Structure 1
Amino acid sequence: MAYFAAILYMEKPELNATYRPQHLEFLEGLEKEGKIFAKGPFIDGEGGLVIYKADSYEEAKILAEKDPYIVQGVRSLQLHEWEMK
């Protein structure tokens, strides 16, 4: 199991509140499956961070790209493998 940091940069702030409930429901489901290590918004309002637990980059990318914020273009995605020390 590896960790992957999904940086979700705000692209369409006017749509953020519309899709927030779906985003949170999506993350809650993955938390129950043990696929989320940590998550939260950036204080400056420019987006947020989700740290996924996955077996590969490809698996993490598939998970991250299913987030309603990404699907609806509300936020852009940068995904990096993260080494916890």
Structure 2
Amino acid sequence: MARKYLVMAERTPKFDDSVIEPHRTFLRELLAQGQLQESGGFTDGTGGAYVVLAENLTAATAIVHSDPLHTTGASDLTIHEWDITVSA
């Protein structure tokens, strides 16, 4: 059974707008594969977050580390296993 992992992305000084479209493509591919639940940017422009579905933390980390935000060093990505207790 897949678990939910909250990925927090915070922009680094190396962030460049050219990484936005490759990151969006990465997210669309995850969505098509059933590995993404939701994503979005922070309104203050400092980064964003997304929820990955994976079997375990190792699998989630492998997914997240292939994100162009990570591979280019544009953002620091932090992964949290998320045990949701209340949901709409």
For the aligned pair, the TM-score class normalised by the smaller chain equals over 0.9
Q: What is the aligned-residue RMSD (CA, Å)?
A: 1.1
Identity %: 24
Distance 1:83 1:28 in 2: 24
Please say which structure displays the higher CA radius of gyration. Answer: 2
> Which amino acid counterpart does residue 54 of structure 2 have in structure 1?
A
Residue 57 of structure 1 aligns to which amino acid in structure 2? L
Matching residue of 1:18: 18
Matched, 1:84 2:70: no
- List alignment gaps of at least 5 residues for structure 1: none
Length-normalised TM-score, structure 2: 0.90
- 1:1-85 alignment, distance < 5 Å: 1-12=2-13, 14-15=15-16, 17-85=17-85
Letter in 1 for 2:68: P
| Contact 2:61 2:79 (8 Å CA) reproduced | yes
Question: CA distance change for structure 1 residues 13 and 41 in 2, over 3 Å: closer, same or farther?
Answer: farther
2:23 is paired with a residue whose SS is: helix
Which of structure 1's runs of 4+ aligned residues deviate more than 2 A? none
Aligned length: 84
